[in-house]
Amino acid sequence: MDFNLSSDLVEMKKSIRDFVDNTVDPVADQIEREDKIPDHIMKMSKEIGLFGLSIPEKYGGLGIDMVGKCGIYEEIGRTSNGFTTVIGAHTGIGSVGIVEMGNEEQKRKYLPGMASGDLIGAFALTEPSAGSNAVALKTRAVRKGDKYILNGSKHYITNGPIADIFTVMAVTDPSKGAKGITSFIVEKGSKGLIIGKTEEKMGLRGSHSSEIFFEDCEVPVENVLGVEGLGYVNALKILANGRAGLAARNLGSCQKLYELSVKYAHEREQFGKPIFEQQVIQHYLAEIALDVETLRSVTYRVAWMVDQGINVIKEAAMAKLLGSEIYNRIADKAVQIHGGIGYIKEYPIERYYRDARITKIYEGTSEIQKNIIAAQIHKEYLKTVPTVHA
Amino acid sequence: MKESAVLNNQKVQTSIFTDEHVMFRDSLRKFLEKEAVPFFDQWEADRIIPRSFWEKMGEKGFICPWVSEEYGGLGTDFAFSAILGEELARVGAGLTGIGTHSNIIVPYIASFGTEEQKRKYLPGCVSGEIITAIAMTEPGAGSDLASIRTTAIKDGDHYVINGQKTFITNGIHSDLIIVACKTDPKASPPHKGVSLLLVERDTLGFSRGRKLNKVGMHSQDTAELIFENARVPVSNLLGEEGKGFSYLMTKLQQERLIASLNALVAAEDMLQLTIQYVKEREAFGRSISKFQNTQFKIAEMATEVQIGRTFVNDLIAKHINSEDIVTQVSMAKWWITDMAKRVATECMQLHGGYGYMEEYKIARRYRDIPVTSIFAGSNEIMKVIISKQLGL
């Protein structure tokens, strides 16, 4: 067992942490106020390659393994989660579909632009009546000559307002249920693609989600992503791939909350001494530290397993579940340690508190992660008993 | 309907509530449905409640009904105050400022004020023309109240106040502020140097800082207050010099009971919203209320809410009888606010992605709740009190 990160990755993490802590974090308040990532931050993020995090080197990306990706996600998770989400949704679910399922032509066409950040990716699965239950999709795609005609609507689409490339799941054969869903690459500006209103959320300011409408939207047949009828499987794969990365982003936020809380507990004085000297505060910090280390171990182990080619459906769901639960626990304790100032916007703690909440909902709710884990447990059990019982 | 067990608790509490109480609640609720509910989202967006609403409440006799008739009130018992707090909290936590004025701040004037002070201020406090605030917390003194640094030094027939207060409820609207200051900064122990002074809106040297931007309770105006050589006549001393700390301690029982009640009402409302939502929302071909996970989560929450309700109603009855319930109120304050936070988390989770969108009420409730484990004495302070009361 070797728990050391490669020296290249250590260097890369260091330079990204420097960018995140010293360039992005100082404008985190501005991002909250203006609900916008400043142009210079977007530009610099693109220049240092963050948008090409998941894309192979031959298409202009960073071409790094999962441990490397998690290392970088951890660093960008330290600051405004709106910033983290703009990049994470693009490099995660927004581009992984094309990387994993795209044909050579599609990869050549889209990936270099996505790697440089000139083209922003978004993933369009969720519909008003199909959230966790992706099989209930209503968006239809009907083939007509060399085109598919899409009709329907999506909502809560992260990066929707700024995206150039959408990975869209639509029903091509309603009689086949989950096997009648196909994924498509839909470009911004396609006829009949309408970007709806930007949704007002509790947190993740700077990252925008919107509704998307397809009104006889025309998509050329060559934009089918992967095999027709495998869209649902594709969606699951894309989401599974993102889970370790989500855990790593949460890990970065947790680490930052830990650092802020330790500092505040030493600086804040009540009853004539730093509140750190109160045993309850010490115990809160001990619990936070324990949670951070647990999450770190689980996250990097799953990433390492991905790099070894090991199937991680169960472990990735565990990491996503653990990461979001721990992030929420720590955010709550950090607010409590900070007291009144933790509830006020001029201090960053409340921002993490609001941002943390969505992590238990998006990209598969905590309940869905438990379903996935349980389904794997069941499968493993069936392998241990004679087939007659199966 | 079966949900009555958890959601219509106040109606079954015949032991506390008489017909008069029920009538008061009904007319208050009707009033709020008409005058507050339709405008509440706008007030949240404006980050303040218009003064005209305070005045409307006052006209109807809903503010400080407990004030005795000679000062313009109705002379009612604490159950009316509890009903007022509850009905305001039912609309939204942002209305807390009115409850705080009525149930927490004005009682100081009635209990410790001189006849002259009562005549001067109480009628306006009842009519809604005078809005009050109480200023204890400072940037360097939260839970550790005895360490406040704001001073009030006697100079002839005036006190000269210097210092800064923060997180002050009604900070923007307030016309009359009860300020906790050190009249004797060298007193030992330090809490014996604390006195309460009444500061009026136009006092020279008194100014308001920023309206603070909070995670939740948006329509409730919270601000910093600044005193720079603010001069107030010695006749504005509330009660006796050096007794401020003990006055505050005597009133905290009621404040914490109200805080527990408000958090409980929020939990009841969140549960009600969620029961409604899970019945309507379908996933995997059926209502999500049919999933055992949903059912058990709701069963657990309903149980906790019911325990909280039983506890709080018992404490209201005891408080009406003027019993000393400091220990139990400290228990209720930490347990119920913690419980309400758990309920907020689970209810948002059952709403899925919709719950994170501001157009759903659960998002607002979720943002409003975390401060309840911090204000009115943080939950850690409650545990300090309980353990001291247990002789530890």
> In this complex, is the C-beta atom of B135 within 8 Å of any C-beta atom belonging to chain A?
no
Q: What is the CATH number of domain B134-242?
A: 2.40.110.10
Give tens-digit pLDDT for B303-353: 999 999 999 999 999 999 999 999 999 999 999 999 999 999 999 999 999
Region(s) of chain A under CATH 2.40.110.10:
121-228
Average pLDDT, chain B: 94
Q: Sort out which chain A residues have CB atoms less than 8 A from B383's CB and list them.
A: 280
A:75-134 residues touching chain B, CB 8 A cutoff: 126, 129, 131-133
- Torsions phi, psi for A349 (to 5 deg): -60, -45
Percent of chain A scoring above 70 in pLDDT: 99
Torsion of CA B348, B352, B356, B362, to 10 degrees: -40
SS3 label, residue A156: strand
Residue B2's pLDDT is 44
- Rounded to a whole number of angstroms, the distance from the CA of B201 to the nearest CA of chain A is 25
State whether B215 and A201 contact (CB < 8 Å). no
The band of A234, judged by pLDDT with boundaries at 50, 70 and 90, is: confident
Q: In Å, how far are A91, A183, A248, A308, B73 from A237, measured between CA atoms?
A: 15, 12, 18, 17, 67
Q: Is B255 a catalytic residue?
A: yes
- Mean pLDDT within A247-275: 96
CATH 1.10.540.10 fits domain B4-130: yes
**Residues B74-129 pLDDT 10s:** 999 999 999 999 999 999 999 999 999 999 999 999 999 999 999 999 999 999 99
Q: Do A131 and B283 touch (CB under 8 A)?
A: yes
Query: Cα separation of B304 and B297, whole Å?
Result: 11
Q: Which fold has domain A7-116?
A: Butyryl-Coa Dehydrogenase, subunit A; domain 1 (1.10.540)
Whether this model's ipTM surpasses 0.90 comes out as: no
Partner residue opposite A361 with nearest CB, options B214, B293, B352:
B352
Indicate where chain A has its CATH 1.20.140.10 domain(s): 233-389
Kindly tell me if the per-residue pLDDT of A41 is higher than 60: yes
How many angstroms away from the CA of B94 is the closest CA of chain A? 14
Q: How far, rounded to the nearest angstrom, does the alpha carbon of residue A352 sit from its chain's CA centroid?
A: 16
Q: For the domain A233-389, what is the CATH code?
A: 1.20.140.10
Which residues, numbered 188 to 247 in chain A, qualify as contacts with chain B under a Cβ-Cβ cut-off of 8 Å?
Answer: 199-203
Q: Which helix (H) or strand (E) holds A286?
A: helix A279-307
Q: Does B371 touch chain A (CB under 8 A)?
A: yes
Tell me which chain B residues have a C-beta less than 8 angstroms from the C-beta of A366: 349
Residue A273: closest C-alpha in chain B: B144
**Average pLDDT for chain A:** 94
Biggest alpha carbon distance in chain A? 79
CATH superfamily of B246-389: Butyryl-CoA Dehydrogenase, subunit A, domain 3 (1.20.140.10)
pTM (predicted TM-score): 0.82
Q: Which CATH architecture has domain A121-228?
A: Beta Barrel (2.40)
pLDDT category, B8, cuts 50, 70, 90?
A: low
Predicted confidence (pLDDT) at residue B3 exceeds the cutoff of 70? no
- The H or E element spanning position B272 is helix B244-280
Top residue of B286, B293, B372, B380 to mutate, by most chain A CBs within 10 Å, is: B380
Of B141, B349, B357, Cβ closest to residue A365 = B349
Q: From the CA of B7, how many Å to the nearest CA of chain A?
A: 26
Chain B residue whose CA is closest to A344: B214
Structure confidence by residue, pLDDT tens digits, B35-46: 999 999 999 999
Two tokens, residue A295: 């999450």
Chain B, nearest residue to A352 by Cα? B215
Greater confidence (B8 vs A321) lies with A321
**Residue ranges of chain B assigned to CATH 2.40.110.10:** 134-242
Q: Which tens digit of pLDDT belongs to each residue from A178-215?
A: 899 999 999 999 999 999 999 999 999 999 999 999 99
Is the CB of A270 less than 8 angstroms away from the CB of B282?
no
